[in-house]
Structure 1
């Protein structure tokens, strides 16, 4: 039952795969015409061997001697044309399928929920896009090419063999049960090994990505040897699995060829003993029998490609079948006024049993600044991640201008929000394109210059060789941390959203960079509702409201002075942070 189920699943999976080639069926039909020409020329060539030997060499017929060379040239001319149509047609379809599959996977990646990336499941995505898709494309194009092209050739040659001497041809029937048993054994082994190869490629991609992204940490902590060992383990596993696959293929093909050679030997022995077949017929029969081994061998090996493609399809379609971010809303707003309210919000991360947030409530009015403070793990970043719906609250409601964010479309909701984090991602493009990131239409040059000036980007960009058109490098690594942060602020200014999230926007900067970034942030926060996460409490003293979190709950809230006067959690955090500062002692005593 399980074998039948596996076979059914494989057939459904392969039909789904072939669906990507269906839009290009007319090009593939042209390729099939070429395959027919190849098959016909193969059968035609073997058929010419009979008159060539009997009438040419034995009877010395002049007409036959003149005609046969010309026919051979014409056959191979037709074969050349057929070969071009078959190979170019299938390659064209294959490249289109590769493009479509990669595009489909990448498009799905762009809309996968945040939990997918943060669960670690994203480690093999690069391998799937680069390696697995190639295996899928081979399954879509190479397999039909072999099955149709070599299948037609096999049928044509088998038909000719039966026509010449059906008794001798029956000897080849001995191959059928042997071939079936070998193919079945190879099929199971190929699938298991192919799955392991896909996994090993994902492991290699993961190690390379982590070592590349964290190259400074690797160098600083002397982790090169550790990363090299991890890479070598993945590579060795990949090499081992590939060699197992090669061994299965080599042994299986060797046994198939041995069975074919035994059958051919029996045919030759039987033909020589019988004496009922002419030299021309025997030569034609022998050429056809030898020629048929090539298509037979390729048809036997096509199963390897099928199993590899099915293994790749399992992992690739697993990504494509992942549910995208849930679109629950239908309300569109052009520009919110900026009131944000959390009502009894609760949340826990997928796969965990403990709430990260519990009964969190607060409100911030348009244009106000609300600061979220608390020890690490208190839920600050989770709170701001819920606002743009990177995650959905499990309980309670979050409202913008009295509208539940779940009622807003994702595009409309995120259009209202700009985000500046501690480590802002820049893309390997120009400063200009990074500031205007997400702009589908033409860039507003005056608005971009205003944003760059306000964020103090022009102060360093004008000293660069290409100004705002200077490329920032991968992840912006050609720039300093302060410069990257100012570009991120300019990006938020250019977006001009009514709600702003600042997540530790200055915590990793030196004094001079922090001064410039703080000046840029003050301009960014003007007339915007701002939610600020900060470890350094000195940066949020002037916030309109401070919400203090402890273990996922609101411990207290109020202004800086109110909270100090209350002498609660906030006052304790403030004293701990500034205990060595005389000014802090003076403030805490007021």
Structure 2
């Protein structure tokens, strides 16, 4: 049975606390700094527990004569120490949070670069970007804004309760009679907030994917007059985000008044009961004031703890999506042997492949690409030509059969070593945003000298137009090379391949989208590139491969014919039809191309 080309994640299931903590620990958090920050927060909290006792004594024995400089100094030092400790703690927590997020993002970035092509076939780019930006920001917010409040809040609540029970256990029990009621009301709302938050994260990722898709192809959008359709799609996403925002707002609108109502009711009851206790002499006025201050030190942390759990639920959802990326089966770029001799023939033996089970793209394909010779793959669209290139690049693995270099399966070699033997020039020749030098040298691990750069450009017939540019090799090409023409982009791609000096060359009809003048120049550059290399060409036009050493005709994933141009004309009916249709066009275009060929010949004489 065929294997799936979308590897499952290593772990499935609901994210738990253990997974979240493992994610944090694997990000190598600065433990010492976190410990200092939390220690300072704890000290500040403990100091704050002493302040109501100072206030109690001051109220009970208040008179001008009773106030001493020691009391004033003690209060001032306590407040000043709290402020300094809190400020330093906040900064250190932010530092720790940023370090943790940087660690997670570094792991994600490293992972994204080694994920197989199949992952990107099944996941939108914008969704993946959201994992790197939005989800990690949620985790950072938990650490920098809520973790300290959670820990110090628990200490503040426990400390305040202990002191309150010591001061007046009756009033303390009255106070706590309200909290179970508040919990029963607020817990279901907190659960709803978690579900809304998780849905909001999912919709945000989806909306990011729409933005990335549309903005990266804005020229296509405008050329196709697709603005209304894309606006409608984007508006739908905005509307969903709006609805989730309203749900979140409704829950908050219920929670905030409920909390305020419970607290107000509690204050009224305690003030009333406390006033009675003061009037009866059971407690002093200072004790009542201190009691109310401690109550504040319970109420405020409860709010912080509630926010912590809300943010924690968001962070758990973010962890779940991040782990799905981190746990995905990845490529092992350096695992395997180095290619010793790539100047050998390539053999495809009974190769079968499908993207989806039950929908084969290649069916038992077998042929040999002789070392140093040109093999062309021709056939109708959808016959599997580009898929064959992807298998040779090892973007995918055949479900059955094998691809061999000489007598060794290419799976034996490390991906880095194998791909370094291949030069690939596609129809579109993708360029990165940067300079011409950046694009020609892209992927080179060593420093490339200016002379090497110019030599590669010269052999690719790119030197003439590059040297006419104001900044020459330092000219910015724009996003995806938009500032250059199609022929110029192709020649830079050929120069890049020449600089790598590959032993195996794959050409995905590199001239099919060019005008006749550009095609002449690019074809000449390709002749330079193909010399002495094992070359595989995808041909959409037979006129470009009639001189190939071998032509393989591929139809519906099967090899239906092999041989030279003349041999296939004599033996393959569909090839004859292709030739009859396409070579007529060649004759019609010859008159336009001949003057350009003469110009090329003259230019060659001058270069010589």
Q: Distance in 2 between matches of 1:75 and 1:114?
A: 60
1:526 is aligned to 531
1:107 is aligned to 110
Confirm whether residue 45 of structure 1 aligns to residue 51 of structure 2.
yes
Alpha-carbon contact 1:328-1:406 (below 8 Å) kept: no
1:88 shift after superposition: 0.8
CA change 1:182–1:565 in 2 (3 A) is same
Alpha-carbon contact 2:462-2:492 (below 8 Å) kept: yes
Q: Residues 110-125 of structure 1 correspond to what in structure 2 (within 5 A)?
A: 110-125=113-128
Alpha-carbon contact 1:370-1:531 (below 8 Å) kept: yes
CA RMSD of aligned residues (A): 2.1
Confirm whether residue 24 of structure 1 aligns to residue 27 of structure 2.
no
Q: Distance in 1 between matches of 2:292 and 2:587?
A: 103
1:187 shift after superposition: 3.3
CA change 1:491–1:207 in 2 (3 A) is same
Post-superposition CA distance 1:506-565 (Å, at most 9, x none): 111112221221111111111111110011110111111000001100010111111112
Q: Give the counterpart of 1:200 among 196, 199, 203.
A: 203
Q: Give the counterpart of 2:212 among 181, 184, 209.
A: 209
Q: Distance in 2 between matches of 1:334 and 1:477?
A: 39
2:86 is aligned to 83
1:65 shift after superposition: 4.2
Q: Residues 140-159 of structure 1 correspond to what in structure 2 (within 5 A)?
A: 140-159=143-162
2:40 is aligned to 34
Q: Distance in 2 between matches of 1:30 and 1:443?
A: 48
CA change 1:7–1:304 in 2 (3 A) is farther
CA change 1:539–1:490 in 2 (3 A) is same
1:188 is aligned to 191
Confirm whether residue 236 of structure 1 aligns to residue 239 of structure 2.
yes
Residue ranges of structure 1 left out of the alignment (5+ in a row): 1-5, 585-590
Residue ranges of structure 2 left out of the alignment (5+ in a row): 1-11, 590-608
Q: Distance in 2 between matches of 1:234 and 1:324?
A: 31
CA change 1:416–1:295 in 2 (3 A) is same
Q: Residues 298-317 of structure 1 correspond to what in structure 2 (within 5 A)?
A: 298-317=304-323
CA change 1:457–1:327 in 2 (3 A) is closer
2:361 is aligned to 356
1:452 shift after superposition: 1.3
CA change 1:329–1:320 in 2 (3 A) is closer
TM-score of the aligned structures, taking structure 1 as reference length: 0.93
Alpha-carbon contact 2:543-2:582 (below 8 Å) kept: no
Aligned residues: 575
1:579 shift after superposition: 4.4
Alpha-carbon contact 1:37-1:78 (below 8 Å) kept: no
CA change 1:255–1:360 in 2 (3 A) is same
Q: Distance in 1 between matches of 2:429 and 2:161?
A: 67
2:329 is aligned to 323
Q: Distance in 1 between matches of 2:27 and 2:153?
A: 20
Post-superposition CA distance 1:182-238 (Å, at most 9, x none): 443133212211221112112211211121222122111211121112111112211
1:334 shift after superposition: 4.4
Confirm whether residue 223 of structure 1 aligns to residue 226 of structure 2.
yes
Confirm whether residue 434 of structure 1 aligns to residue 439 of structure 2.
yes
Q: Distance in 1 between matches of 2:13 and 2:203?
A: 25
TM-score of the aligned structures, taking structure 2 as reference length: 0.90
1:267 shift after superposition: 1.5
